[in-house]
Structure 1
């Protein structure tokens, strides 16, 4: 990965960049050529009873974001020191993206259309031919990790099971005869 120091989020100039400019986990690429924002609602196929809460029959899927990013070997980084220490800025930028994917740590992505927390790099696709010799053009696909808050509630400090129970003593009981059997017994004289 890049040998440059981490972003100093106390620096007002950096804070302004991270929260106002398009970036991938604090990494600023030279160009963002195209972005596809996908938000999908899954609706169940089961019938919904009249008056039922419809929200129980639909749920949001993790959001997806696909970005076509570009990096030139000629320009200087927007943030001093980013994408340095490698063969070229474009190769180092691709190495940063690969490292973000390998680490599997959720990152935050800021775009013009919104903030995406808890995103993982799902797919990297970078053509490498004579047209990209002095740069990088890469499609990066991100997918959101859904995070749930779990709360533990203590219901009682008493144990749920007791060691002894009062069961009483079992006594045999003569079963009741059916009405049909009683009537037939009276008719037959038994």
Structure 2
């Protein structure tokens, strides 16, 4: 049986498990997954293996509980509202709006996480608790930058490209050589074989 304090509170002192603004009363299970893709092609001897492996976005799955009466040692007990229903509404809203959330777990604080799946199992033993399972995936962000090109350089590049395409005027048609005719026959034959 797990130590009750490790279920009720985060392993890091002063930090409670949370999903965005939703604070959990209990984290029953956490799964932290780090994946990497490795090339299936052979790597040249002496090459850098790291050039052929890249990390997938991190994934975290949490099974937790929220009650109507949270355990609070310091501070007031809050209002009389039903925290379970409020937490349910907030979690569903985060899922539907696909908002990026900060996820506080017993091991690490994850930023830029998105809810991939969300479930709320209920049975006769659930009582006044909201049980849920949520899986998250990291949403990676990048920054783009626009760089201006000097107008003189752009004009020179355009001039070079245009100079390479000279108009040769009207040209007389020439007959194909026997070698060119033979090559064209072979191509037609192969094409017909493919079509049939």
Change beyond 3 A, Cα 1:27–1:169: closer
Normalized against structure 1, the TM-score is what? 0.67
Is the aligned partner of 1:144 residue 2:142?
A: no
Change beyond 3 A, Cα 1:114–1:79: farther
Is the aligned partner of 1:113 residue 2:107?
A: yes
Please report how far the alpha carbon of residue 72 of structure 1 lies from its aligned counterpart in structure 2 after TM superposition: 1.3
Counterpart CA distance in 2 for 1:152 and 1:54 is: 32
Normalized against structure 2, the TM-score is what? 0.66
* Contact 2:116-2:137 at 8 Å conserved across structures: yes
- Stretches of structure 1 that go unaligned for 5 or more consecutive residues are 1-15, 171-190
The higher relative CO (CA closer than 8 Å, separation ≥ 6) is in 1
* Contact 1:28-1:79 at 8 Å conserved across structures: no
Counterpart CA distance in 2 for 1:59 and 1:80 is: 48
CA RMSD of aligned residues (A): 3.1
Q: List per-residue Cα deviations over 1:119-177 (Å, max 9, x = no partner).
A: 0111111112221131111011111111122233334333241396385989xxxxxxx
> Secondary structure, in 3 states, of the residue corresponding to 2:22?
coil
Change beyond 3 A, Cα 1:79–1:53: farther
Counterpart CA distance in 1 for 2:115 and 2:168 is: 68
Task: Decide which structure has greater helix share.
Answer: 2
